[in-house]
Structure formats: structure tokens, C-alpha cells
Amino acid sequence: KRPRLTTSTTPSSLLNEEDRLLVHLREDLALPWKEVIARFKSSTGKPFQIAQLQMRYKRLREKYRVWEESDTEALKKAVEEWERCKWEIVSAKVSSLSAMLSYGVEEKWPPGMCGRKWRQLELA
């Protein structure tokens, strides 16, 4: 289940009345979107399309999302893995058939050599 928007780190006081209603209908009552639209219209008097409220809800979730410790650890591990593997990916791209045809690359370049050359170019 997705984390709730209105947590102790994101007080509902940060949300306006309509946003609180939207979160309440979707998260507390777990209503389907058609029902959310009907209740939203009866409460606010404003007609909305499902896609409009879905996007609004998505943006709220993104804006007030809290990074948990497990999320932060996963991010750190992913970046560490990228740092270990990035030159293998670059090497594969530089040595690909399309690079050979498009850019006139004549040889395949191993990951270590790609990394060393890039560091030289950065220092230049």
C-alpha cells in the first residue's frame, strides 16, 4: 500500500480544503475515481474530469512524499551500483555497431579505458 499523504511529517494544514477532501476520499475512504468525482462535485460544486483529479492527486503525492530510511538506503545502493557499472554501460555504447557506423569507431573500448579517457577529458 502506498504511504499516506497526511503523515505527521506532512500535516494536513499544508493542504487546502479541496486537497484534503481529495486525499480523504482516495486514501481514507478508498473510493474509486468515479465516486471521488461525484462526491467532489457535490462538496465543492465544481465539475472535474477524472484525469484532472488523478493528476492533482499524483502531484500532491509527489510534493508531500516523505523519504523513508529504506528509500534512502535503496537510493544510496542504486547510485553505488551505477558508479561501479557505469563504464561497462558506456563501453557497450561506444563499442556498439551503431557507434562504429555512425561515428567511425574502429575498435571496441573496454570499460576501464573508457573511464580513464573520460577523466582525462574532464581534466583538460
Q: Render pLDDT for 73-115 as a digit per residue (tens, 0 to 9).
A: 999 999 999 999 999 998 888 888 777 778 787 888 888 888 8
Q: Where are the alpha helices (DSSP H) in the chain?
A: 17-23, 33-44, 50-64, 69-94, 97-103, 111-123
Please name which of 68, 78, 51, 50 lies closest in space to residue 2, comparing C-alpha atoms.
Answer: 68
Domain ranges of the chain: 12-64, 78-123
Amino acid identity at 99: A
Amino acid 9: pLDDT: 45
* Predicted TM-score of the model (pTM): 0.56
